[in-house]
Amino acid sequence: MAIGGTSASGVRVCSLKRNTPQLVRPGAYTVVRFPFGAREPYDSYGMHQATQPDGHVVKSWDADERSGLIWPSASGWGQLYAMIQWEAGSYTELRDQYVRDPLGLTSTPNDTTATDHRAPTPGGQYFTKSHGIFVNPETPLALRVRHNDAVARRLLLAEFKLVIHATG
């Protein structure tokens, strides 16, 4: 891949990283939120911006679920990647998934894929995942997590990446 995130074949990349803890309450899936601007590892195609394609402006990335959205910059085959690290807890199950339109902003909301259910391991709770899907600019994507502990737990570190092999 050439510097700048694209090659002659039309590859586009958005790479997000959260290295401040996010508190996740038990029970419901939670969109992982990511910072905008200089704190972000890579977004030269504007797929993760505070001013979103539908005009909404995110004022506080850590408080607004919309900061977890990647809006694909082109239609094509998308490869999703994630890394998730949890703090220790009394949970017996950790879950994560990719989701198209988790906030109901389009006509096909909450379309989940690559949902993983995991039991905790004796060591740290560090996971990676990859999954391919077709993407388009009208449908935002997110990474969601969930646990079944009795109290809120911290997601210590997370990364969320989209690589698009654009078709046009």
pLDDT band at 2 (very low <50, low <70, confident <90, very high): very low
The answer to pTM > 0.85 is: yes
Q: What is the pLDDT of residues 75-91, one digit of tens each?
A: 999 999 999 999 999 99
pLDDT value at residue 77: 97
- Taking residues 10-20, what's their average pLDDT? 95
Q: What is the pLDDT of residues 122-134, one digit of tens each?
A: 888 999 999 999 9
| 118: pLDDT strictly greater than 50 | yes
144, 29 contact by CB (below 8 A): yes
pLDDT value at residue 168: 62
SS (H, E, C) 87-143: CCCCCCCEEEEEEECCCCCCCCCCEEEEEEEECCCCCCEEEEEEEEEEECCCCCEEE
